[in-house]
Chains A and B, each alone.
Chain A
Amino acid sequence: MKNKKRWLAFAGILCAVMLVVMMGRTGTLRSEEQQEPGVTKKADGPVERPVFISVPEIFEALERAPVLFKHDTHAIELEAEGCEVCHPTRDGKVLFTYPKERDETSRDALMNAFHDACIGCHNERSAEGKDAGPVTCGECHVIEDSYLAHEYLPILPEYYEPLRDTYHRDCLSCHQDPAKAAEDAGGLDWKRFYVKERQKIEDERPEVFFDYLVHDKHEKALEDKCELCHYISPGLQEKLDREQKEPSCQDWLREIEEGGSLVEEDQAHSRCINCHLERADEKKDAGPVHCKKCHTDIERTVEELADVPRQDCDQEETILIQIEEEDVRMKGVPFSHTAHQADTRGCQDCHHDTLEACKTCHTLTGDEKGDYITLAEAYHEETSAWSCIGCHETEKKKPDCAGCHHIMKTGLNESACDTCHTGTLESLDNATKIAPPAELYPEDMDQEMEISILENEYKPAKLTHEEIVKKLSDISDNSTLARHFHTEKTTICQGCHHLGPVEEKKNPPQCSTCHTARKEPERKVPTLLGAYHQQCLGCHKQMGGTEEEMPQSCSGCHEEKQAPAAGK
């Protein structure tokens, strides 16, 4: 009897342990949603993103988890007492650093500074009977699951994302722990990456994008007084005084170094928020003070900013971009600054945050200021958001253009140089319009054709040639970009009649000339069946029209035959 009871007890304990283990593994005890660390989703508007305190430059490898600090909660709670409760002030302006006495001489000194400030305040408030924050270690230094997921990830730039999966799959299949393997090889100290990765989370607060609308609001509120945000350096002021000139808009724009560039976080916080606080004190229309009101997730599109007036900084409407050296090899490129301003959301979209002309930092052979990117690269890099070609490539991916352009090779070819490098500003007026398509057709061409060469299960496919050409011509004529680059009247025809001669009033070669019905092993081109469907169906899918306009179902183009195919 005793033995039986013991066995039962043992079995029971085993079951309980198994249950706990299984539940732990399936994660039912953990929260269902995998959220970013500490991000609270509220129903009303932008998300509160906590500040991630880890100060990697001083603390380096951390012993405890970094603190997720909810700034907005504190700011709202202590609003009545003002920012000076936590932040030091100087000359009546608030310095947005923390803590008030920030002793950076050593790790311990800084740690104690934080602890004295935070825990000290919490202790005081609870002594006064008010709502106070935590005082124990583990309540602030909370370990979140998502930290562990980042444990061994090395820092890779964003465009390595797709490669990273491959890297992990390929390397991880042999090296179970590539970071450890790297460390064993004496290469990397993984803890540094760990800490930096955590800092990467910290930097994920959305950037404040100062688009045309925000600038316009400031202009109107500050009554066009540029000097309130932009500075003129003493050197330039002397020069202007000597020449007895008023500062031009360009001068205001460029000289923002005195007092610091507004792009730097500490400058932006100390100058922007202090100004907003002052105006709020003076009961004027003031900007926001809380984090999430500036660091919003909202990014306005070009369409939304269409009616916003662009800054008037005396910029030229059209510019001939020309290298000013004797030995220059390429002709200049005429550039319509006004047209391009209409297609961007802010000056930074092209001019980065420095707001300089391109050749100031991107020299012909590359300079440190421009990250060693040469001038030619800056203008021509396909994948860059700031280069001419890069932006044009993005435009070509839009549905209206992607129908033809998704199959075509991206980027430049040798014949494309002359289109831009004309050397004269007058060529800006030479934007072609597609001749009315009817003028280009050969005399004997039908407008509604039937493709019956592959007729089998389906009836011949109906091709409404005229409608297609008219639609594409309209799109091209309505786009300034297209008009400048579709230089020949027959360029649009090449969207389908590719790789062959296309002349006005002549029939182009038939598709079946190169696309055979049966796949030959050496041929790189698709078979006729594949060619038709990749071309037609591919275009319809990319352009995303209605079923009637651009059929994507089988019967939309060719009806099915009712009887089963003969010969079965």
Chain B
Amino acid sequence: MSGDRRNFLKKAAGLGGLLLTGSEKKAHASFLKVNPDQFGVLVDTTQCVGCRSCEKACNEINTDLPRQTAESFKDESVLDKNRRMDYRAYTVVNRYPNPLDEGKPVFAKFQCMHCLYPACVSACIVGAFTRAPSGAVVYDPWKCMGCRYCLAACPFQVPAYEYRNVLAPQVRKCTFCFDTRLTKGAIPACVQACPMEVMTFGKRNDLIALAREKIKESPGRYVPHIYGEHEMGGTAWMYLSGISFEQIGFPRLGYYPAPAFTEPIQHAIFKWFLPPLGLYATLGSIMWFLNSRKKNK
């Protein structure tokens, strides 16, 4: 019976090791510190008229996108179907029916939300995505190996993949005009191009205050919620809307950042190598036990 006791002790030790690793870290991906002075953009969808000047400006400034003519952006029939970002466009504008007023549809612009705790940064196994102190989530094509974990990880389903490019496909998403304008002290191209001034660029904290003021000054114009203030831990691009956000195509998300959920698990799996040891110990002891029974037979 001594074999049984030994087995039991081994199992207990293995299990204990596993239990030690179960502690959950509180919500933050510890390697990302949020810069309190980082930038953001506030998008007021009640002003947008769907002219697509932002799409045109984005296409002009990002030369790696396939060239599109200025005429193609005047085509309003494109708005009849809801589009997503793909290899041709970092940003799209969609039209949604307005339940409050049939004749005045609502338009909303989509692009990378530049989260404070980006799931793509966490999911990328080679570190091709990083978050700059200015708040932009930047993609480095030289590191990317095309696994597309970022496409799966993003809660807003933003990154697009160049499936058509056989030899050197890249992941495509809005860069916050990082190389082209932010680093040169200018505001993003879409923000500047908008004739209705739908977007306001500034420090994220200032924009939250501005959004709250707007809601207070025009009661009834906005749904009293700033989308992106807390969603998925907060995003740099925040939205105001006159109708509920689900009705303009925004997913209903919780406030817990994605990496805060996944990283504790991932880090715990190999913590001090105890879980694998525990597993091997358990398996090994089962094998040994069965073996010894066979021998005894």
Contact = CB atoms under 8 A, between A and B. Distances in A.
B252 A169 contact: yes
A162 B252 contact: no
B202 interface: yes
Interface of A is mostly: helix
A533 B223 contact: no
A14 B220 CA distance: 53
B224 A162 contact: yes
A166 B195 CA distance: 30
Residue of A163, A521, A533, A538 with most chain B CB atoms under a 10 A cut-off:
A533
Nearest to B203: A521
A267 to B, nearest CB: 36
B230 to A, nearest CB: 8
Interface in A512-545: 519, 521, 526-527, 529-530, 532-534, 537-538, 541, 544
B183 to A, nearest CB: 18
Residue of A162, A169, A173 with most chain B CB atoms under a 10 A cut-off:
A169
A165 interface: yes
B66 interface: no
B244 interface: yes
A173 B256 contact: yes
Nearest to A552: B49
A554 B197 contact: no
Interface in B187-233: 187, 194-197, 202, 217-218, 220, 223-225, 230
B196 A534 contact: yes
Given A529-B195, A534-B197, A554 B74 contact: yes
A519 B42 CA distance: 14
Nearest to B195: A533
Contact of B49 (A166, A409, A521, A541): A541
Nearest to B227: A169
B66 to A, nearest CB: 18
Nearest to B51: A554
A538 B202 CA distance: 24
A162 B218 CA distance: 15
B267 interface: no
B103 interface: yes
Nearest to A168: B252
Nearest to B200: A519
A169 B225 contact: yes
Interface residues of A, number: 27
B104 A541 contact: yes
A163 B104 contact: no
B255 interface: yes
A163 B224 contact: yes
A530 B104 contact: no
A347 B189 CA distance: 56
A340 B202 CA distance: 49
A534 B48 CA distance: 10
Interface string A375-393: 0000000010000000000
Given A166-B225, A173-B255, A554-B51, A521 B202 contact: yes
Interface in A379-427: 383, 409-410
Interface string B224-249: 11000010000000000000101000
B197 A527 contact: yes
A162 B197 contact: no
Given A529-B195, A534-B196, A165 B256 contact: no
Nearest to B246: A165
A165 B49 contact: no
A281 B103 CA distance: 49
Contacts of A166: 223-225
A170 B230 CA distance: 9
Contacts of B185: none
B47 interface: yes
Interface string A169-206: 11011100000000000000000000000000000000
Nearest to A174: B255
B103 A530 contact: no
Contacts of B254: 172-173
B196 A537 contact: yes
A173 B74 CA distance: 41
Interface string B263-291: 00000000000000000000000000000
B286 to A, nearest CB: 24
Contact of A530 (B49, B74, B187, B196): B196
Nearest to A528: B197
A536 B272 CA distance: 66
A173 B254 CA distance: 5
Contacts of B230: 170
A533 B224 CA distance: 25
Contacts of B194: 530
A530 B255 contact: no
A180 B202 CA distance: 41
Contacts of B255: 170, 173-174
A464 B110 CA distance: 36
A14 to B, nearest CB: 26
Interface in B28-66: 47, 49, 51
A529 B197 contact: yes
A526 B254 CA distance: 33
A373 to B, nearest CB: 19
A537 B197 CA distance: 12
A165 B195 CA distance: 31
Interface of B: 47, 49, 51, 74, 103-104, 187, 194-197, 202, 217-218, 220, 223-225, 230, 244, 246, 252, 254-256
Interface of A: 162-163, 165-166, 169-170, 172-174, 383, 409-410, 519, 521, 526-527, 529-530, 532-534, 537-538, 541, 544, 552, 554
25 contacts: A162-B223, A163-B224, A165-B223, A165-B225, A165-B244, A166-B223, A166-B224, A166-B225, A169-B225, A170-B230, A172-B254, A174-B255, A410-B218, A521-B202, A526-B197, A529-B195, A530-B194, A530-B195, A530-B196, A530-B197, A533-B195, A534-B197, A541-B49, A541-B104, A544-B103
Given A173-B255, A383-B220, A537-B195, 15 more contacts: A162-B223, A165-B246, A169-B252, A170-B255, A173-B254, A410-B218, A529-B197, A530-B197, A532-B195, A534-B47, A534-B197, A537-B196, A538-B47, A541-B49, A552-B49
Query: 3 tightest A-B contacts by CB?
Result: A530-B197, A173-B254, A533-B195
